[in-house]
């Protein structure tokens, strides 16, 4: 934890009380500097072109280590919906896909636009029970965007295995604070601009070797070749998940290399302990004020019916979000107990409630 405090203090510029990582993470200083350096080189006429593919590969290796898989199973791209679209396009007509109710649209829409798939929905806490013979794929988020609920990952994985269904796990709201075993899933998709502290334009897809045999790289370009080929058809696709790479947004990936290295230096276990401790402190304080936050041990805290408070909190420099009527606060490595106390004090002030042990 001392490493976390030291690095967080050095890497993040003081600013607002930022509790909105579930929307977009803050960039560490080293990532900002990487973007500035590349941008200055591009402005001057960089001999090497738009950026270095080595940065994308370094980010891929870091993500592989953070998620517990070999780098040959990691593809790098720009958005979750593109990754999901590849998987959706690979399914046979009539295949049954199971989702949780209220799942994020990037996980669902690439399947709905097919028009020839069978889609089913179940409550998140009943998702494992809803898997049945004939289910081809279970697609869901490890942590729900709207309210921070954590899925019963072990139960869903076991149910899918029992019925021969593949699994697609979106870790956009969990990678970076919740330890991930990507190898336990047929596919994982991850937007890097939240708890992984990358800019938009960075995303990762993991694919088992078996699944790679049935998912064609529909957007294959020079980067999908075993040996890069600039002209003519690719004769040999990469013998790894690199066949699914998208052309990199170099500014984003130069930053991602630095952001993911920072998370490796700190360690996800330390981040998990830090983030969830702050979230527990916030839930306890909310309960003392008479609010009813959703229970759980997520780094994301949701308070139903309190979403209308978001604008007034923003006016005093407290950044949270309104999702499905919930006030949603997300805690990460740059947050502290003082951040928790500040938002609780403000909520108490606005409601005229005296805080036990302090505040009003």
Backbone phi, psi, residue 97, to 5°: -115, 135
Average pLDDT, the chain: 95
Report the pLDDT value the prediction gives residue 188, as an integer from 0 to 100.
98
The percentage of residues in the chain with a pLDDT greater than 90, rounded to a whole number, is 91
Contact 320, 20 (CB under 8 A): yes
pLDDT confidence of residue 355: 66
Tens of pLDDT, residue by residue over 192-203, are: 999 999 999 999
Q: How far is CA 292 from each of CA 146, 283, 288, 327, rounded to the nearest angstrom?
A: 16, 8, 9, 11
Q: Which domains does the chain have, with CATH numbers?
A: 2-27+267-351 (3.90.1150.10), 30-265 (3.40.640.10)
pLDDT at 228: 78
pLDDT for 359 beyond 60: no
In which band, very low, low, confident or very high, does the pLDDT at 245 lie, cut at 50, 70 and 90?
very high
Q: What percent of the chain has pLDDT over 70?
A: 97
pTM score, two decimals? 0.95
Residue 48 confidence class, pLDDT cut points 50, 70, 90: confident
Q: How confident is the model at residue 2 (pLDDT cuts 50, 70, 90)?
A: confident
CA-nearest of 222, 241, 219 to 232 is 222
Residues paired with residue 203 on neighbouring β-strands, in sequence order: 77, 191
* Confidence bin at 1 (pLDDT 50/70/90): confident
Answer whether residue 230 shows pLDDT above 50. Answer: yes
Partners of 99 in beta bridges: 121
**Whether the predicted pLDDT of 11 surpasses 50:** yes
Q: What is the mean pLDDT of residues 285-289?
A: 96
3-class SS of residue 197: coil
Average pLDDT for 324-353: 92
351 or 171, which is more confident: 171
pLDDT of residue 105: 97
Neighbours of 125 (CB within 10 A): 12
The H or E element containing residue 338 is helix 337-351
Residue 343 or residue 1, greater confidence? 343
For residues 209 and 219, what is the distance between their CA atoms, to the nearest angstrom? 19
**Using 50, 70 and 90 to split pLDDT, how confident is the model at 19?**
very high
If residue 281 lies in a helix (H) or strand (E), which one and from where to where? helix 268-288
Kindly tell me if the per-residue pLDDT of 356 is higher than 80. Answer: no
What's the mean pLDDT in 72-86? 97
């Amino acid at each position: 934890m001392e490493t976390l405090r030291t690095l967080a203090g050095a890497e993040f510029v003081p600013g607002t009380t930022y509790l909105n990582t579930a929307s977009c993470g803050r960039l560490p200083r080293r990532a900002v500097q990487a973007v500035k350096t590349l941008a200055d080189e591009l402005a001057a006429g960089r001999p090497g072109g738009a950026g270095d593919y080595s940065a994308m590969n370094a980010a891929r290796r870091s993500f592989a280590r953070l998620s517990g898989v070999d780098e040959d199973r990691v593809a790098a791209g720009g958005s979750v919906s593109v990754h999901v679209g590849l998987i959706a396009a690979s399914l046979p007509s009539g295949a049954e896909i199971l989702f949780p109710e209220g799942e994020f649209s990037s996980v669902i829409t690439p399947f709905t636009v097919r028009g020839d798939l069978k889609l089913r929905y179940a409550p998140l806490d009943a998702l494992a029970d809803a898997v049945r013979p004939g289910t081809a794929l279970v697609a869901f988020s490890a942590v729900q965007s709207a309210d921070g609920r954590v899925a019963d990952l072990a139960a869903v994985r076991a149910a899918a295995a029992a019925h021969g269904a593949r699994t697609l796990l979106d870790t956009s709201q969990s990678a970076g604070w919740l330890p991930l075993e990507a190898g336990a899933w047929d596919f994982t998709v991850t937007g890097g601009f939240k708890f992984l502290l990358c800019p938009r334009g960075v995303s990762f897809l993991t694919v088992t070797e078996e699944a790679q045999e049935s998912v064609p790289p529909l957007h294959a370009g020079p980067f999908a070749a075993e040996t890069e080929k600039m002209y003519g058809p690719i004769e040999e696709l990469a013998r790894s998940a690199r066949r699914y790479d998208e052309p990199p947004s170099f500014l984003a990936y130069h930053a991602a290399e630095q952001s993911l290295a920072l998370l490796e230096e700190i360690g996800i276990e330390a981040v998990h302990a830090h983030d969830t401790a702050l979230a527990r402190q916030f839930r306890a304080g909310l309960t003392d004020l008479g609010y009813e936050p959703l229970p759980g041990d997520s780094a994301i805290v949701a308070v139903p019916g309190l979403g209308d408070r978001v604008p007034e909190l923003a006016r005093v420099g407290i950044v949270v979000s309104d999702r499905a009527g919930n006030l949603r606060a997300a805690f990460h490595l740059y947050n502290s107990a003082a951040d928790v106390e500040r938002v609780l004090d403000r909520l108490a002030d606005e409601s005229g409630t005296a805080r036990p042990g302090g505040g009003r």
